[in-house]
Amino acid sequence: MSTIHFQETTSSTPEQFLAALTDFGPGRSELFGNSADKYLEVHDRGRQEADVTEGSRGIWERLHYDWSDPNRVVMTTTDSNVWGGHSGHTYTFTRRPDGATDVDVVVVREGKNLKGRILGVLVGTLGRPVLTQAFSKTIKAVEARDNGGGTAERS
């Protein structure tokens, strides 16, 4: 099992970042590169939770999103072609006195088959820089969206 932790500061508010994370409309891949539109399927969505399948490049996972705490989004993997066990993502938002927001991310990857175990080792050893770079792109895309330069907000 691999656990990767990273943090970045954004000019977006926790509410704006939460809105981006829970926007399951077309164009999601503009914000989250590992969520290709062809994999995206919303099975159920409530006011503070959703059941969504997403993925890219032959890897998909069904996630239970819980944003009942406005400063934290927990995404638990409920099914996947490679991930199982304790896999998922947790985003925690901390509002700073200067108006910025610290976004803390923990990604857990536990392979459920040979492909998943190999990918889990790769994610744990070589994946941190790749995930960190992808997250930096997400931060910039969310900021652009919040400043009117990106995809319009959808519900």
**Region of residue 118 (left: phi > 0; alpha: psi -120 to 50; beta: else):** alpha
Distance between CA atoms of residues 116 and 53, nearest Å: 17
User: In Å, what is the CA distance from 98 to each residue of 26, 86, 121, 144, 147?
Assistant: 33, 35, 38, 19, 18
SS3 (DSSP) at 80:
strand
Q: Which two tokens stand for residue 51?
A: 């059941």
SS3 (DSSP) at 110:
coil
Q: What is the largest CA-CA distance in the chain?
A: 46
Q: Which two tokens stand for residue 118?
A: 């190999």
127 or 10, higher pLDDT: 10
CB 137 within 8 A of CB 126: no
How is the chain split into domains, by residue range?
2-146
- Mean pLDDT score of the chain: 90
Q: Which fold has domain 2-146?
A: Alpha-D-Glucose-1,6-Bisphosphate; Chain A, domain 4 (3.30.530)
Given this model, what pLDDT does residue 148 score? Answer: 66
Q: Is the pTM of this model over 0.75?
A: yes
**What's the pLDDT tens digit per position in 80-118?**
999 999 999 999 999 999 999 999 999 999 999 999 999
pLDDT band at 151 (very low <50, low <70, confident <90, very high): very low
CB 103 within 8 A of CB 93: yes
CB 92 within 8 A of CB 104: yes
Distance between CA atoms of residues 13 and 35, nearest Å: 22
**Range scoring the smallest mean pLDDT among 26-35, 71-80, 90-99:** 26-35
Residue identified by tokens 């009942």 is 68
